[in-house]
Amino acid sequence: MRQFEYTAPQSTQQAIGLLGQDWAQAQILAGGTDLLALMKDDVQSPKRVVNIKMIPGLAGIQYNATGGLKIGALTKLAEVADNADVRRNYPMLAYAFDEAASPQIRYMATVGGNICQRPRCWYFRNGFGLLAMKDGKSLITDGDNRYHAIIDNQGPAKFVTPSTIAPALIAYSAKVRIVGPSGQREVDLAKFFRVPQAENEREHDLKTNEVVTEIIVPPANGAKTAQYEIRQKQAFDWPLSLASVALWMDGNTVKQANVVLGAVAPVPWVSQEAAHVLVGKPLNEQTADAAGEAAVSMAKPLSRNGYKVQLTRTAVKRAIMQAAGGQK
């Protein structure tokens, strides 16, 4: 690990002042489960580490029936998974947070850190850069791309978004609160993620001198929800594909639907195609099948990851059927 300056601000404004104008100058330390690993592997080497753990007010969970759920950015994943209000009112969140990592990591990793974590792409993690380009060509296109994107991969970014809690939060229409030199702003979590087009860009809408402070989740209003993940092994592993589904019903007819895919695109992928198929239809296996087909209609697999198309189709169908049965 290279030398760096360590700081521990006592307020958000102090933290903002310590952050720089580019990512190489300073990085935020929250849970540290991702940043420290990247620094040890010399993938990232910030000149300054800004530890925000000492800042009051950035952790904790608040819930009321009218305003919904507020989760501080420094709240540990395990705290959210175990929270009684979350389990009662947002069962898909409880499931997603409980499955997001191994027990040891869940008690260290923070919500803000999880949604801001860097891609798990092995090219990136082995020092080939975020986009893994060489001589103007993608190493991924003709390389080992078994675990890479099958949707929205036409540009240089072919990694998949790493957060498994983000799709569930987006299905509940969550927003993220961000504080920077110009004050506070709120962004739909679905729009917080973006696909970088150049090596010096990030995978999210966060400036170098901004801090994520809170996640805001509106009331679920009786939504039927489920998240279905497909992994290579039963023990903790990164999913090959996942689907988070939230359905608002009028009797047995779907009135509104949010279908969000994970591990298949550089961002959590909101499938408008699947939602369109569901709305106005009865909730049954035939409709779930059609939604699964629609969800992968945009897929353009790479040379070695075509299998993920069928996995994604299945994940969507099973998430919808679990939601229909009230399973968590």
Give me the residue spans of the domains in the chain: 224-324
Q: Is the predicted pLDDT of residue 326 greater than 70, yes or no?
A: no
Q: What dihedral angle (degrees, nearest 10) is formed by the CA atoms of 11, 109, 83, 225?
A: 120
- Residue 286 main-chain phi, psi, to 5 deg: -65, -45
Q: pTM for the whole thing?
A: 0.97
CA 20 to chain centre: 25
* Residue 234 pLDDT: 75
* Residue 102 pLDDT: 92
SS3 185: strand
The answer to whether residues 186 and 177 touch, using CB atoms and an 8 Å cutoff, is: yes
pLDDT band at 233 (very low <50, low <70, confident <90, very high): confident
For residue range 244-299, what is the model confidence (pLDDT) as tens digits? 999 999 999 999 999 999 999 999 999 999 999 999 999 999 999 999 999 999 99
Strand partners, 68: 64
Q: What is the mean pLDDT of residues 207-230?
A: 97
Q: What is the mean pLDDT of residues 47-58?
A: 97
CATH topology of domain 224-324: Enolase-like; domain 1 (3.30.390)
pLDDT band at 327 (very low <50, low <70, confident <90, very high): very low
d(CA 113, CA 207): 15
d(CA 252, CA 96): 26
For residue range 93-127, what is the model confidence (pLDDT) as tens digits? 999 999 999 999 999 999 999 999 999 999 999 99
Q: What is the mean pLDDT of residues 211-233?
A: 97
- Contacts with 257 (C-beta within 8 Å, 6 or more apart), sequence order: 245, 246, 247, 248, 274, 275, 278, 279, 291
d(CA 121, CA 243): 20
Q: What is the mean pLDDT of residues 215-235?
A: 94
